Amino acid sequence: MLQTSARLLRLLSLLQIRREWSGSDLAERLEVDVRTVRRDIDKLRNLGYPVNATTGTAGGYRLGAGAALPPLLLDDDEAVAVAVSLRTATNGPISGIEDTSLRALTKLEQVLPSRLRRRVNALQSYTVPIPLRPGPTVDAAVLTTIASACRDNERLRFDYRDHNGTASLRVVEPHSMANWGRRWYLVAWDVDRADWRTFRVDRIEPRTPTGPRFTPRELPDGADVATYVSARVNSATWRFRARILMHASAEALSDGLKSYGALEPIDDNNCVFVTGADSLESLAVYLGMTGVDFEVQEPPELVEHIRELGRRYMRASGTE
């Protein structure tokens, strides 16, 4: 019965909007009898969604936290907020959830009405262009395009700049994407070259529309994606590797720095911070945030950037 199913969804939606509902309130909103509401609540419970009820004068129904997640019923604004947040998270400061965020984002964007998509894009343009972590950021729209193609086994055409800067047009059968370090990689079968290739996503410019569907291939030697990608890009994750002697204990710095690199304790007043970066400028700025004195051990070029920054600050403070 269409009415019944739709009503169940509406009921779930109502229970998500406000915590506590009385049976008669729900009956009024759903335009059915109170008895039917009770039965619907029962149905939800049978479906695994825990609806807690309290009797008495201040009684009512409330949706609780159960074993499984009920379908999320978002309104327009909320959907936009979720999409924008997820887009930021795929480039974001929290490591370990980039690929899952991307999966959720792909799911959401597939069904996002176009008027909402426009709002997401508009809001996204306010994103802070100065990355908190050094390194290039990847366009979230590109990520979702590629992720969809991977998921749906659709051929992909894109312009690619390789590490020398030479451009080429590629037609590939995308296999999967991997998040390594701060970068995204696409593993795909290059149709023209008839071989497997690994592409850096920040160098990809997809062309629309995507191509026809294909039957997926196995990776050579039955390798899984993580090992395959790491074997190929391991060495080249960062342009620069840096070692900094910090004049503070490893514990004191741990909160702020541990997600950016490794801290090797020396004594109560010193430790070594090992990290990587693509841009020495941003690394130099970042070191200033720590509020701690430091000495650069590697790379020597970093010293020059730090001296330049120091001079700029001295000029700004009028102490040449």
**One of 27, 37, 86, 186 touching a second copy (CB under 8 A):** 86
Q: Which position among 16, 22, 121, 237 is part of the footprint of DNA (CB under 7 A)?
A: 22
Binding residue for DNA, selected from 18, 19, 47, 53, defined by CB under 7 A = 53
Tokens of 251: 């514990």
As given in the structure block, the two tokens for residue 121 are 């894009």
For strands 204-207 and 240-246, give the pairing: unpaired
Nearest to 51 by CA among 67, 40, 66, 62: 62
How is residue 25 written in tokens?
């309130």
**The residue to which tokens 């001295």 are assigned:** 314
* 61 is a contact residue toward DNA (CB under 7 A): yes
Is residue 29 close enough to count as binding a second copy by CB under 8 A? no
Q: CA-CA-CA-CA torsion for 190, 196, 198, 203, nearest 10 degrees?
A: -10
Least distance to DNA, CB of residue 23, Å: 3
> In this chain, which of 13, 14, 16, 38 binds DNA, going by CB under 7 A?
38
Do residues 245 and 264 make contact, with C-beta atoms less than 8 angstroms apart? no
Q: Residue 146 is encoded by which pair of tokens? A: 């590629």
For a second copy, the binding residue among 14, 32, 34, 123 (CB under 8 A) is 123
Cβ neighbour number for residue 88 with a 10 Å cutoff: 17
**Of 155 and 197, which has the nearer Cβ to a second copy?**
155
29, 35, 217, 312: which one binds DNA (CB under 7 A): 35
Residue whose CB is less far from DNA, 55 or 125: 55
Phi-psi region of 31 (alpha: psi -120 to 50; beta: other; left: phi over 0): left
Q: Write each residue from 285 to 314 as x if it is in contact with a second copy (CB under 8 A), else as -, in one continuous string.
A: x-xxx-x-xxxx------xx-xx-xxxxxx
Q: How far is the CB of 52 from DNA (least distance, A)?
A: 8
Distance CA(238)–CA(26), nearest Å, equals 57
Q: Which residue number, 86 or 186, has a Cβ lying nearer to a second copy?
A: 86
Q: Is 28 in the site for DNA (CB under 7 A)?
A: no
From 41-49, 89-97, 199-207, 291-299, give the range in contact with DNA by CB under 7 A: 41-49
165 torsion bin: left (phi>0), alpha (psi -120 to 50), beta (else): left
Give me the residues that bind DNA (CB under 7 A), please.
1-5, 7, 21-24, 32-36, 38-43, 53-61
